[in-house]
Amino acid sequence: MTHIITSLCLRDGGCATVCPVECIVPGKPVDKWPWYYIDPDTCIDCGACVPECPFAAIFPEDEVPSAYKAKGGEYLSMPVGTPGFDTEYKGTNHDGEPVHLTATRVLAAGEVVDLTPDIPVNGAFFKEGPGYNALK
């Protein structure tokens, strides 16, 4: 079983720095692949990435919530052009570098969202998307 990075990801990158098998890759181009992604074939399910994520975006695959209840103020990020995702997010990553995402939306307190559609996106990044080539 692997871990999954969900749409709560705002590209902090701390997860990738602690991964002992280097299976976490930042998506590129960002407008199409806005999260970091975990290679399901390489992940050893150690969980080192989970506490490093300041956005609590990483879950064991079998624990990705189908009814995530927002505390309020969390961002969801999606590829540019996704309907309803028209808020900008500007922040900094783990290394203090700027992060700018243009297709996000802010969750209201008590709002419930299904994060399980994010599961196949992680595998698709490596099978159909740029995968490890995004590091080049």
Taking the model in full, what pTM does it have? 0.95
pLDDT for position 114: 99
pLDDT for position 132: 86
pLDDT at 1 over 80: no
Q: Mind listing the pLDDT tens digit for each residue in 60-75? A: 999 999 999 999 999 9
In terms of residue numbers, what domain contains 84?
A: 3-135
Our count of domains for the chain comes to 1
Q: Mind listing the pLDDT tens digit for each residue in 7-36? A: 999 999 999 999 999 999 999 999 999 999
Amino acid occupying residue 48: A
If you average pLDDT over every residue of the chain, what do you get? 96
Q: Mind listing the pLDDT tens digit for each residue in 106-135? A: 999 999 999 999 999 988 999 999 998 887
pLDDT for position 136: 73
Neighbours of 6 (CB within 10 A): 25
- pLDDT exceeding 90 applies to what percent of the chain? 91
82 phi/psi in degrees, rounded to 5: -70, 125
Non-local (6+) Cβ contacts of 127 within 8 A are none
Q: Which two tokens stand for residue 78?
A: 């999606």
pLDDT for position 134: 80
- 3-state DSSP assignment of residue 110: coil
pLDDT at 78 over 80: yes
> What is the CATH classification number for the domain harbouring 42?
3.30.70.20
